[in-house]
Amino acid sequence: MTEFTPVSALFGGALIGCAAVMLMAANGRIAGVSGIVAGLLRPAGGPLYLTSLAFVAGLVAAPLLLTLATGDAIAQTVPSGLATMGIAGALVGFGTAIGSGCTSGHGVCGLARLSPRSLAATAVFMAVAVLTVFLVRHVFGA
């Protein structure tokens, strides 16, 4: 079980918001991580945006740099193991495909733009998240 830490949550949220604003101001793009990653996975004939590559590299590099700076490894908080994480990742990918975006695109950028579609998508994301946590903790006993 993880503990809620309001200071780190506030700091992390502020960093996400700043990154979203910077990407929109610099490139006119919404910081939807699923869309950015999808842009990197297009067939060879499609555009490969340098900013997308830099954004994803930053997502990978940040925890590695934190580990180097502090000497503490990033803790694995999913007790079920790598297979469960792979299945969860595939389900999230499927959900972002059918929802036309992810929590960063809809929840951060879409809500900030007062998008009704993003409000509906975020409500669905949150309802499914609440249901998933309830089922995992109280029905399946994890």
In a domain, 16, yes or no: yes
Domain that holds residue 76: 6-139
Total count of domains within the chain: 1
In a domain, 1, yes or no: no
Q: What DSSP character marks residue 85?
A: H
Query: What confidence category does residue 22 fall into, taking pLDDT thresholds of 50, 70 and 90?
Result: confident
Backbone dihedral angles phi then psi of residue 72, each to the nearest 5 degrees: -100, 130
In a domain, 25, yes or no: yes
For 45-63, what is each residue's pLDDT tens digit? 555 567 778 888 988 898 8
* CA separation, residue 25 to residues 28, 31, 97 (Å): 6, 11, 26
> How many Cα atoms are found within 13 Å in the side-chain-facing hemisphere of 142?
14
In a domain, 21, yes or no: yes
In a domain, 68, yes or no: yes
Verdict on whether the full-model pTM lies above 0.75: no
Question: What percent of the chain has a predicted confidence (pLDDT) above 70?
Answer: 90
Q: What confidence score (pLDDT) does residue 131 get?
A: 93
Are 2 and 77 within 8 A, CB to CB? Answer: yes
Query: What confidence category does residue 120 fall into, taking pLDDT thresholds of 50, 70 and 90?
Result: very high
Mean pLDDT of all residues in 115-142: 87
In a domain, 128, yes or no: yes
In a domain, 133, yes or no: yes
Q: What confidence score (pLDDT) does residue 117 get?
A: 92
In a domain, 108, yes or no: yes
Q: What confidence score (pLDDT) does residue 47 get?
A: 54
